[in-house]
Amino acid sequence: MPIEDAIKELATKVTDHGRALLTEEATKTAVVLPFIARVLGYDVFDPSEVLPEFTSDIGTKKGEKVDFAILRGGDVQMLIECKPIGAPLDINHASQLFRYFHVTNARIGVLTNGQYWHFFTDLDQPNKMDQHPFLRLNLLDVDPYALPELQKMTKSTFDLDSVLSAAEELKYVSGVKQAIDQLFASPTEEFVRLLAAKVYDRPLTAKMREFFTGVTVKASKQWITEQVNTRLKTALQGQGVSMPAPAATSDPVEDSEGDEGPKDIETTFEEIEGFNIVRAIAVSDVPVERVAARDTKSYFGILLDDNNRKPICRLHFNRKQKFIGIVGEDKSETRIPIDKISDIYHHADAIREAVRRFA
């Protein structure tokens, strides 16, 4: 199974059962062991590959253990320390992982709470685990750039040299991306001055600095949207998204705003992200290719078989408060407010019910 599909299956499990996984042991059983087996491809029942409660007699505290060690050829290659799902991945609470990294041959340390996976190595000082991960993975919001690097750590294509050679760049690229995100969301005075100097040749008073701070935030958001939309144009058809005016239909869930032409429609990255989450949920019941979408001016509609008479749900992301619209058996729509895109996973059962209705 491709790791993308394996991750989607685990994401569904995290969404459906996350609230029940209150302990570390429950998280290990429900998510961590399946991740090791299905995503990384190791045999969790073979102690020569996966050794639970790994201990070392050298340089560690008595009775201290690491949850899992992954071995290749008898050598420890990877150490995995688990926390309960929802627990923060605080590096200060992973002291045993640091110590075991130091006294074994492991070059990869993993800290996880089931949903979030942080991968560490020893870039800063040999044989001492770094304070910051070189790779982060969120099962509910997968960065596609992380998947090729994750693939290098799987049993079938394990390539430690390639992982380590890419780790330094990955670590700093990740850090710079976070810094850019912070600058765009909350620009510093230095950043505002830098940009203002490009377009404003007068002294930057306190009043104008405040003005340009707002301008910077607004321009950043618009620039990101424009870049995303440019790249989406070529990807939309491949994703099964169409933007022409829908065909005439007597379907009661359709409304007049859905008949706007393409010139009135702007498909956003958030809508595509939401669409992909719905696809990930629906794949448990139908092939992913059957889940399509039609964007309209008032909502982003997700359909089975690209058929207006088979509505699965709607995404209303055009306002500050986002809603997911669940279409019932009578084809009436119930709008449910969501705070973030990943909240769609909370409505997985209703989405699957809609899919099964038309499958």
CATH assignment at residue 7: 3.90.1570.30
Of 82-86, 160-164, 168-172, 248-252, the poorest mean pLDDT is in 248-252
pLDDT at 244 over 60: no
- What is the structure's pLDDT at 7? 92
Percent over 70 (pLDDT), the chain: 87
Q: Looking at the structure, do residues 55 and 152 belong to the same domain, yes or no? A: yes
Residues 313-337 have a mean pLDDT of: 90
pLDDT band at 252 (very low <50, low <70, confident <90, very high): very low
pLDDT at 260 over 60: no
C-beta neighbour count of 282 within 10 angstroms: 24
Contact 223, 238 (CB under 8 A): no
Q: What is the distance between the alpha carbons of residues 304 and 247, in angstroms, rounded to a whole number?
A: 15
Strand 75-82 relative to strand 66-72, pairing: antiparallel
- Report CA Rg, the chain: 24
Residues 55-83 have a mean pLDDT of: 81
Listed residues 160, 177, 194: the one ending a domain: 177
Q: What is the chain's mean pLDDT, rounded?
A: 84
Q: What is the distance between the alpha carbons of residues 331 and 319, in angstroms, rounded to a whole number?
A: 23
Q: Looking at the structure, do residues 55 and 126 belong to the same domain, yes or no? A: yes
Q: Looking at the structure, do residues 216 and 300 belong to the same domain, yes or no? A: no
Beta strands in the chain (DSSP E): 50-54, 66-72, 75-82, 108-112, 116-120, 135-138, 241-242, 291-295, 300-304, 311-316, 322-327, 333-338
Q: Looking at the structure, do residues 249 and 329 belong to the same domain, yes or no? A: yes
Q: What is the distance between the alpha carbons of residues 236 and 233, in angstroms, rounded to a whole number?
A: 6
pLDDT at 261 over 80: no
Residues 206-235 have a mean pLDDT of: 79
Phi, psi of 43 (to 5 degrees): -80, 105
pLDDT at 234 over 60: no
Q: Looking at the structure, do residues 310 and 172 belong to the same domain, yes or no? A: no
Contact 192, 212 (CB under 8 A): yes
Indicate if the alpha-carbon torsion angle 175, 2, 13, 21 is positive or negative.
negative
Indicate the pTM of the whole model: 0.57
CA angle 36, 41, 46 (to 5 degrees): 75
Number of structural domains in the chain: 3
Q: Looking at the structure, do residues 199 and 314 belong to the same domain, yes or no? A: no
Contact 220, 192 (CB under 8 A): no
Q: Looking at the structure, do residues 269 and 327 belong to the same domain, yes or no? A: yes
Q: Looking at the structure, do residues 201 and 165 belong to the same domain, yes or no? A: no
pLDDT at 229 over 90: no
What residues contact 339, with CB distance under 8 A and at least 6 apart?
Answer: 322
pLDDT at 76 over 50: yes
Total residues belonging to the chain: 359
Residue identified by tokens 């019941």 is 285
The dihedral formed by the CA atoms of 120, 269, 298 and 219, expressed in degrees to the nearest 10: 110
pLDDT band at 238 (very low <50, low <70, confident <90, very high): low
pLDDT band at 264 (very low <50, low <70, confident <90, very high): low
Q: Looking at the structure, do residues 209 and 308 belong to the same domain, yes or no? A: no
Residues 207-227 have a mean pLDDT of: 86
| Alpha helices (H) in 18-124, listed in sequence order | 24-27, 33-34, 95-103
How far out from the chain centre does Cα 221 lie?
20
- What is the structure's pLDDT at 231? 60
How far out from the chain centre does Cα 280 lie?
12
Q: Looking at the structure, do residues 105 and 191 belong to the same domain, yes or no? A: no
Q: Looking at the structure, do residues 75 and 146 belong to the same domain, yes or no? A: yes
**Residue 212 domain boundaries:** 186-235
Q: Looking at the structure, do residues 36 and 109 belong to the same domain, yes or no? A: yes
- What is the structure's pLDDT at 257? 43
- Name the more confident of 233 and 145: 145
What residues contact 297, with CB distance under 8 A and at least 6 apart?
Answer: 257, 258, 260, 264, 265
Beta bridge partners of 243: none
